[in-house]
Each structure stands twice: as C-alpha cells, then as structure tokens.
Amino acid sequence: MSHLFEHHGAPGQGYSQPAPVMKAADIPLPTALLRKDLPRWPRLSEPEMVRHYTWLSRRNFGIDTGFYPLGSCTMKHNPRVNEVIAQLPGIADIHPHQPEHHLQGLLSIYHEMQYMLEVCAGMDQVTLQPVAGAQGEFTAVRCIQEYFRLRGETQRTKVIVPDSAHGTNPASAAMCGFEIVEIPSRVDGRIDLDALRAVADDTIAVMMITNPNTLGLFEKDILEASSIVHSVGGQMYYDGANFNAILGITSPGLMGFDAVHFNLHKTFSQPHGGGGPGSGPIGVKAHLAEFLPGPLVEKRTPVGDESKHAIDGAWYGWYEPEHSIGKVQQWHGNAGAIIRCWAYYRRYGSGLRTMSEHAVLNANYLRHAIHKATKKAGVDHMVVDGAEAVVAKHEFTLSLGPAKEAFGISAMDVAKGLLDMGYMAPTVYFPLVVPECMMIEPTETESLDTLDTFATHFAEVLQVDAETLHAAPITTPVRRVDEVYAARNLCLRHPFDE
Ligand SMILES: *Cc1c(COP(=O)(O)O)cnc(C)c1O
C-alpha cells in the first residue's frame, strides 16, 4: 500500500504559506524545543494530495457504501440534514469559554436534550458529558460508588454482570475498583434468577445489564431481577446500547433501573465506527443526581440583566452538582454529536417509537428471511438460532456451530465470505455464550430489498466450499489479517528509515 511519505514528488514544496510576521530569532523559545531538522513533510502537489485521500476513502467500507449489519453497534443511516444543522455558525463557531449570555441558544438545546433523554429513559437527571457508552458506564458506576461511600456502605465491593454482557460492563466496573461477579444465562438466553438470588447480598453495589440483552431477547423477568438487587440495597445499571429496540415503548425507569447510559451514536444520529466520535450521556434517578459530573444545564427565571438575553422568558445556565465525582471530559461533552442527535430527535419526536418498531420488525424479518433462504438452498442445517427464542428484538444471533462441526466452516469464514459479497460482516464471536456466534442488526433504515438480497447472499456464502472460504476475503484491499498478531503488536507510526 502506498503511503504519503513514500511520494518524493517534485523538488520544492506543494504548499505556500504567508511569510512569518516575526523572525524565528525574535521568538524567545527554549532552544531545546526548536527543531534541529526540517519536518519530513511529503512533497506533494495539490492534485496528488487530493488523489491520495480520495484513493484512501475508496478503500474504506462504510454505511454509505453498503449494508452494515454489525450487531450491537447499530450502524444506521445518518440523515445529512443533521450535519447541516450541527455546522450552523451559531453552533459550530462558538467557544466553550464564551459567557453564558452568548450561549443561550446552545444551552437551551442542551437543556432540551437532557430533558428528552430523561423522558426516554424514565430518569430524573441526565448529564451529556461522557463521550462514549463505555465512559458513561464508568461515570455512572463511579456516581453509585460515591453514593454508597457517603452512606457509609463501603462493604459493597462487587458488581454483578450476566455472562452475555458486553465486555465494557465488567471493564468499567473493574476500573472503579469493583470485583466482578458473573452470573450464567439460562438455556433460553435470559438471566437466571436463581443464580442472581444466590449471589445477592449486602456486598453487591450494582447489577449491570442491557435489555433487550445482547442476544436480542427481552428480559421478561427484569422487574423481578431489579427487586432482588434492590432488596439487598444494590443499584440497577442499564446498558443503553440497545435503546434502538425500546424507544417510546418502555424505559429503564419502568424496569426498575437507577442509572443508564445512552449511546447517542448508536440510537440517534451520529456517524461512528473506527472508535468514534461518540456521545454517551447518562441518566440517573434523583438520589444519584448530586454525584453527576458537571456542568449540567438548568432552566430558570432570568434575574436582572439576564432577561435581555433570555429566550421566551427563560434563562439557561450551567451548574455543578453538589457532590459531583468531577469531570470525565473536557468542556461540555461532544457538542457536535449532541447537536446532530438533538436535530434527529426534533425531526422525529414521538415518531421515535415507530423507529424502534421498524428496527425490531426489520430484525425479525431478516431472521426469517435468512432461515427461508438457507432452507431453499438446502443449507439450513448449517445454522441454528443463538437462543431458543422465537421473537428477537432489534438484533438476533445465529450459531454457525453446525457448519463448523460438519464442514469446518467457522463464523469467521462466513463473515469473510460476506465481505467478498460487498457487505460489512455481522459481529462475530459475541456474545460469548453462543458457539460460533454471528450477531446481526439490520436497523430500521434498510429496505426490504436490501434485507432479501442479503439473506440470499448469506445462503450463497454457505454453499461455498470450505477451502475457498478459508481464503476469503479475496476482493478487499487487505486480505485476511492476523488479528491476534495485529492487536498484540501495535504499529501506529510509519517506519521511517532512520
Ligand atoms: C457499543 C456497546 C457498548 C459500549 O459503547 P461505546 O459507545 O462503544 O463505548 C456497551 N454495551 C453494549 C451492549 C454495546 O453494544
């Protein structure tokens, strides 16, 4: 693969800069900080530069180039109008240090967003500060830890997570210093209440769980689970990554949770993937609100001069909660992501319920379509459902265990075969409780035609012989990589000839 630094280009430089106003000698910089050599900038003309980046972008795969059924990650279409709104100068050009009376418009948006998320989650207070779901988890668990510390309940050193949990749940709890207690799922993929009762005592601080769970199944016993944890004085934490299944239909508040995070980049509208950028606000019940990281936005009656800048008679101001755990992010969270999601919510309003209904419908339709297509192709014995469930929510799991056993075709092989068909592969090997797991989430933004075609292609991949599939992908810019080697031997900078 050719690299910018490998272009030697024409002598001279491909850019021009205005002459410096001051001479280097006039600037009192410590000599230790001055460059000894010229920077190794590649010498490229503008067209070479444009071609390089366009070429790179064409080697990429994204939701804008094809179907992206990556389970758990909710990769949906991001309406472009939200980009336009997030880039309006009144929003994009403000500085976080501007005084409140300059920021009334932005603050009113933040306030509305806090309120909207409170309503969706059935919580009393939201902070928009965390910039990822995982950071939201950490923040909320820290708030709960502080709540117990102030109550003198320091014997609560454990956090319960089901074995189907997303890896960030135990990781966030461990980062706060908690011990992880894992409880098994039942054969139908749901939490085992007896196992929960067996570990529930006054050393439990929190139970972290997502609902629908990572198998795409609704935890029907969630109220019972909440009451078991509450009966020993513990708190319930809702991993909100699966909000796309329940928005406007039910809420973590109704299910007995005390704290939740949103992944705005999954549920609402924010291009993501490759690690960012995201937004992971958290919502809590009133008893946890004083621990949230600030600043939060409040709406109140303007006082004195404030009324000159007030919007519809209201004043919006920052405030710090009394026992705040401190900031978890600079400034006020990932403003661009928050604005895009606010624009999305303003566009759909109560229609967000329909969004969730369509997400669930699409997932169930695709699940049936895959079964129908594999049956028609005579390969349905190679796939089984990941749990014995009949009704999935916004995502579902398949097990390629039978294909592995009979033909040596793994979930990874099928995933790589799908890349050659022009798709992003579904999530594989998660959740861990399903052997050779493939987790599929089509989202509400895909058409019937896309779903049908994908199901047909899925059955086609299963008909490819094992040897060919082991060699897949053959059409992508990079062939099959050794992922373990790549993860253990990170190489993040260009190896210049020193
Ligand atoms: C994506 C996800 C997370 C973590 O969210 P990030 O925004 O990627 O940090 C946590 N739990 C579940 C179930 C998820 O799908």
CB 441 near ligand 1, within 6 Å: no
Residues 185, 96 within the same domain = yes
Q: Quick one: what percent of the chain has pLDDT higher than 90?
A: 75
Mean pLDDT of 394-409: 95
Domain final residue pick, 351, 369, 385? 351
**Helical packing angle, 168-175 and 133-150, nearest 10°:** 40
Residues 237 and 98 in one domain: yes
Does 264 share its domain with 254?
yes
The pLDDT score that the predictor gives to residue 390 is: 64
* Phi-psi region at 111: left, alpha or beta (left = phi > 0; alpha = psi -120 to 50): alpha
Q: Closest by alpha carbon to 174, among 145, 148, 151, 154?
A: 145
Q: Which residue has the higher pLDDT, 115 or 25?
A: 115
* C-alpha to C-alpha distance for 245 and 248, rounded to whole angstroms: 9
Residue of the nearest CA to atom 6 in ligand 1? Answer: 133
Do residue 316 and residue 366 come from a single domain?
A: no
Q: How far is the CA of 216 from the centre of ligand 1 (A)?
A: 14
Residue 491 domain-assigned?
A: no
Q: What is the pLDDT of residues 416-440, one digit of tens each?
A: 999 999 999 999 999 888 999 999 9
Same domain flag for 293 and 427 = no
Look over the chain and give the mean of its residue pLDDT values, rounded to a whole number. 92
Q: What is the pLDDT of residue 250?
A: 97
pLDDT confidence of residue 11: 59
CA 487 to centroid of ligand 1, rounded, Å: 19
Q: Which of 263, 328, 393, 427 to probe ligand 1 with, by most ligand atoms within 8 A of CB?
A: 263
> For the ranges 56-70, 160-174, 183-197, 381-395, which has the lowest average pLDDT?
381-395
Cβ of 244 less than 6 Å from ligand 1: no
pLDDT at residue 10 above 80? no
Q: Are residues 98 and 175 in the same domain?
A: yes
> In which element (H, E) is residue 183 found?
strand 179-183
Is the omega angle on the peptide bond into residue 96 within 30 degrees of 0, that is, cis?
A: no
- Mutate which of 129, 163, 166, 215 for ligand 1 pocket (most atoms within 8 A of beta carbon): 166
The 10 Å Cβ neighbour count of residue 100 is 15
Ligand 1 centre to CA of 261 (Å) is 9
In a domain, 38, yes or no: yes
Average pLDDT over residues 335-361: 95
Looking at residue 31, its pLDDT comes to 84
Say yes or no: 98 and 240 in one domain.
Answer: yes
The closest residue, in CA terms, to atom 15 on ligand 1 is 72
- Average pLDDT (375-397) is 87
Q: How many domains would you assign to the chain?
A: 3
**Residue 134 Cα: closest atom of ligand 1:** 9
Is 197 contained in some domain? yes
- Segment 104-127 mean pLDDT: 97
Residue of 22 and 356 predicted with greater confidence: 356
Q: Is the CB of 166 under 6 A from ligand 1?
A: yes
What is residue 252's three-state secondary structure?
Answer: coil
* Whether residue 170 has its Cβ less than 6 Å from ligand 1: no
Last residue in a domain, options 305, 325, 351: 351
Give the DSSP per-residue string, 205-226.
EEEEE-SS-TTS---TTHHHHH
Reported as a pLDDT band with limits 50, 70 and 90, residue 7 is low
156 pLDDT above the threshold of 90: yes
> Last residue of a domain, which of 351, 379, 396?
351
Q: Is the pLDDT of residue 389 over 60?
A: no
Q: Which domain holds residue 424?
A: 352-485
Please indicate, yes or no, if residue 69 is contained in any of the structural domains.
no
8 has pLDDT over 80:
no
What is the pLDDT at residue 498? Answer: 55
Residues 292 and 389 reside in one and the same domain: no
The confidence score (pLDDT) of residue 19 equals: 85
What's the CA gap between 166 and 412, in Å, rounded?
A: 19
Q: If pLDDT is split at 50, 70 and 90, which confidence band does 492 have?
A: confident
Q: Is the dihedral of CA 106, 109, 115, 121 positive or negative?
A: negative
Sheet with strand 437-440: strands edge to edge:
384-385, 396-399, 437-440, 427-428
- Helix then strand then coil, in percent of the chain rounded to 5, is 40, 10, 45
Please tell me if the CB atom of residue 263 comes closer than 6 angstroms to any atom of ligand 1: yes
Please indicate, yes or no, whether residues 313 and 190 belong to a single structural domain of this protein. Answer: yes
**Distance, CA 313 to ligand 1 centroid (Å)?**
39
Mean pLDDT of 310-329: 94
Q: Are residues 29 and 99 in the same domain?
A: no
| Model confidence band, residue 465 (pLDDT cutoffs 50, 70, 90) | very high
Asked whether residue 42 falls in the same domain as residue 158, the answer is no
Tell me, what CATH number does 472's domain have?
Answer: 3.90.1150.10
490 occurs within a structural domain: no
Asked if residue 236 belongs to a domain, the reply is yes
pTM of the model: 0.91
Q: Per-residue pLDDT for 330 more than 60?
A: yes
- Of all protein residues, the one whose alpha carbon is nearest to atom 2 of ligand 1 is 241
Tens digits of residue pLDDT in 283-311 = 999 999 999 998 999 999 999 999 998 88
CB of residue 136 inside a 6 A radius of ligand 1? no
In a domain, residue 71? The reply is no
Q: How confident is the model at residue 24 (pLDDT cuts 50, 70, 90)?
A: confident
What does DSSP say about strands 125-127 and 204-209: parallel, antiparallel, or unpaired?
Answer: unpaired
Answer yes or no: do 361 and 220 share one domain.
no
In a domain, 468, yes or no: yes
